Amino acid sequence: MPVKSAQSSSVRDRTQEFLGVAERLKKSLSSENVASSGSGSKPEVQQRSAVAVQSEFNKRASKIGFGIHQTSQKLAKLAKLAKRTSVFDDPTTEIQELTAVIKQDITALNSACSRPSAPL
């Protein structure tokens, strides 16, 4: 659609060139989408797998942190028992039992930290 005028001599109609480039780009993008949809599931699966692994790690770390918190509370109770001195109310048995429980908790926490798949 060239326009005939004195000023239009410097203007070129490049509509067909533009349409050709747009068509090539459209074909290029559609072929990339087809190729990526066939093999694109692998990165998506890997990404989901990585998220699942991270989520599992976070759950385990949370459980370990909670175990540490509970053990520290037991240690605080043990410290109070050890400081308490009474002739009539001897906490020796309770101290021994609590010490044994704390040792078991610490052993379980150590094994949970050293083996990532160990149950808590």
Structure tokens belonging to residue 52: 């699942």
- The predicted pLDDT at position 1 comes to 54
Measured CA to CA, the distance from residue 104 to residue 67 in angstroms comes to: 11
Q: What percent of the chain has pLDDT over 90?
A: 32
Domain residue ranges of the chain, discontinuous segments joined by + = 14-114
Residues 6+ apart with CB under 8 A from 81: 91, 94, 95, 98
What digits encode the pLDDT tens for the residues 87-100? Answer: 788 888 999 999 99
